[in-house]
Amino acid sequence: MLVCDCNDVHYDTIKRAVQKYGDNVEAIIEACDAGTACECCLEDDCSKVELPLPLAIKKALAEI
């Protein structure tokens, strides 16, 4: 699932970052570069991605 269109970040990358950094959004963004370009994926209602970053983090936290 695409989480950040600008930097081509997918859910698996976010999940690995969540496993390492928990719910520390700043650390996840720094580790993955998600949300560092247009920042649309930082919003829950971003239409450019399949799963926006905040929802991807919530999903990953629920799965680990």
User: Model confidence over 2-51: pLDDT tens digits?
Assistant: 999 999 999 999 999 999 999 999 999 999 999 999 999 999 999 999 99
Element (H, E) at 9: strand 9-10
pTM of the model: 0.94
Q: Set out the domains of the chain in order of their start, with CATH numbers.
A: 2-63 (1.10.10)
What CA–CA distances, in Å, run from 26 to 23, 47? Answer: 9, 22
For position 48, what pLDDT does the model report? Answer: 95
Give backbone dihedrals phi and psi of 47, rounded to 5 degrees, phi first: -90, 0
For position 51, what pLDDT does the model report? Answer: 97
C-alpha span between 45 and 22 (Å, rounded): 23
CB atoms within 10 A of CB 29: 22
* Residue 56 token pair: 């991807």
